Amino acid sequence: MSEITLKEALEDALHKEQMAYDFYMQLHDMLKDLGAKAIIKELAEEEVNHKKMIEEAIKTGKIDHIGMETKYYSSDLGIAKMVLPQVITEDMNVQDVLRIAMKHEDNSRIFYEKLADKFAGKEVEEFFRRMAVEEATHRNKIQNLYDDIVYNEN
């Protein structure tokens, strides 16, 4: 593992959040289904909140001001492991969009867990662990929504 400074790690995290926002907005702009568009818009807004927290940490050099209320890590339903559509198209249904979003959030969780491992034993480890939990919570929220939709359709 290569060495990385806290500032570099936070800048990587900021870049990851920007890419997530851009991805969600591109997906939002191409979708026709209004329900799917609303879900994706909400996810994009959550990425903006993450960006603001990270920008503040970079600006101040402090992470103690970041207060995440998330303390509960609900169980993974495993839906994010399902096969994803090969091509994103404008006529995708809500289920496909939710599966893509779940996978995206799960990848973000893994990203933050790896950063936490790199900074194990340092104060910032807790920040990255909380970000991983935040991303897992988003994934689980999407999974539950997906489960509700699939259950209601069957």
pLDDT, tens digit (0-9, with 9 covering 90-100), for 53-85? 889 888 887 776 554 444 444 445 454 555 454
Asked whether residue 2 carries a pLDDT value surpassing 90, the answer given is: no
pLDDT of residue 73: 42
Which phi and psi angles does 120 have, rounded to 5°? -55, 135
Q: Give CA–CA dist 124/16, Å, rounded.
A: 17
**Both structure tokens of 89:** 């198209």
Residue type for position 8: E
Instruction: Note the pLDDT tens digit of each residue in 105-148.
Output: 888 999 999 999 998 998 788 889 988 988 898 888 888 888 87
Q: Which of 50, 49, 48, 25 is nearest to 101 (CA)?
A: 25
Contact indicator for 97, 67 with CB cutoff of 8 Å: no
pTM to 2 decimals?
A: 0.77
Closest CA to 102 of 144, 74, 150: 144
What is the model's pLDDT at position 114? 92
Mean pLDDT in residue range 41-64:
86
Q: What percent of the chain has pLDDT over 70?
A: 80
